[in-house]
Amino acid sequence: MKANRIVYGDTLVELAAVRKELLVLDADVAKSIGTAQFAAAYPDRFINVGIAEQNMMGIAAGLATCGKLPFAATFGVFTSMRAVEQIRNAICYTGLNVKIAGTHGGLETGEDGATHQAVEDVAIIRSIPKIRLFIPSTPVATRYLTRLAAEVIGPVYLRFGRAPSPEFYDEDEEFPEGGSKVLREGEDIAIMAYGNMVSVAVQAAERLAEQGIYARVLDMYSIKPFDTEAVLKAASEVRGIITVEDHSIIGGLGGAVCEALSGGHQIPVIRLGLNDEFGRSGKGDELHELYGLTPERVIETALSIMEAADESLKGGR
């Protein structure tokens, strides 16, 4: 298993060989975020601006006006919050070809605590016009989506966690923008997740199947553009939707799913994530446990949805 942020850095090294205009910008976190190997491979195309995220985003914008392909990255809290106005005004409003990566998304950042855990970044970034937001779940998805980010014209934001990720995909799997992946089929419940929560969703679905409940698992890697069609399809085929994300339940995937269903669908949606609260210090997996981002919690939620659905069927009779 490899952390997606490391795969991101490896992919940039690969890309740099063919994309001569590709540059990597850093606000002195390369050792943590996976771009140190790029710095070693391409020292002339690696710019550490010091601990100055706002300046970094502006520089990325300026480079893009001159035809460069800058990838600027730091912890998600700093990309999405410290430098959000720079992303909005200098990059997105302008529509410049800048790629941004926010690493250490969610509680799995762990011991550094709430100040370093981005639990609002998805909500913030997806509300900005003109930007795409991709959140890869596995190394294969990371490699594909990093390459896709380089290929499309315009601002792209990639979100990565901290911990290593298991692989669910074949090497040649494709992840088109605006799509999603069905990792398991099921007609009872749909579990939608992104990033490392996809693994939690898969584990929950496997154990639910043992109890005769079949959950469809969707990897919603493209938060923007969003696969509204897959959500609507699920809504018409299953009895309830569960969203799982290492992020606030406000404005993230849970929010996006509810927006997609705002046309009047009568389906329960339970959003799992941080319930309008901050994280704290601790080990990533312990924090996931503490805040209910576990297969057990997803299973419990699925069972309650199924129970309620059965009740309402009985009531209907």
Partner 1 sequence: MNDVRELEQMAARMRMDCLQMIHDSNSGHPGGSLSATEILTVLYFYKMNIDVDNPRWPDRDRFVLSKGHAAPMVFAALANRGFFSKEEYKGFRRTGGNLQGTVSIHNPGGDMTVGSLGQYLSVAIGMAIAGRLDNKDYKVYAMLGDGELQEGQVWEALMLAPAMQLGNLVAILDNNHVQMCGKTDDILSLGDLRRKFEAFGWAVKRIDGHDISQIMSALDSIPVQLTGQPTMIIADTVKGKGVSYMEGTAQWHGGAPDDEQLAQAFRELGGAL
Q: Looking at the annotation, which residues are catalytic?
A: 53
Task: Tell me how far, at minimum, the Cβ of 70 lies from partner 1, in Å.
Answer: 8
What's 310's DSSP letter? H
Distance between CA atoms of 15 and 9, rounded to whole angstroms? 10
Looking at the Cβ atoms of 90 and 200, the one nearer to partner 1 is: 90
In whole angstroms, the minimum distance from the beta carbon of 82 to partner 1 comes to 10
**Quick one: 52 or 303, whose CB is closer to partner 1?**
52
For residues 243 and 194, give the distance between their C-alpha atoms in angstroms, rounded to a whole number: 9
Are 38 and 16 within 8 A, CB to CB?
Answer: yes
The structure tokens listed for 230 are 């897959």
Closer residue to partner 1 (CB): 85 or 185: 85
Q: Toward partner 1, which CB reaches closer, 44 or 172? A: 44
Q: How far is the CB of 22 from partner 1 (least distance, A)?
A: 11
- Shortest distance in whole angstroms from residue 61 CB to partner 1: 5
Q: Which positions touch partner 1 (CB under 8 A)?
A: 23, 44-45, 47, 49-50, 52, 54-68, 70, 85-86, 89-90, 93-94, 96
Q: Beta 269-274 vs 240-248: how paired, if at all? A: parallel
**Residue carrying structure tokens 């898969």:** 202
Q: What are phi and psi of 32, to 5 degrees?
A: -90, -30
Contact criterion met (CB below 8 Å) for 35 and 9:
yes
CA atoms within a 13 Å half-sphere pointing along the CA-CB vector of 133: 27
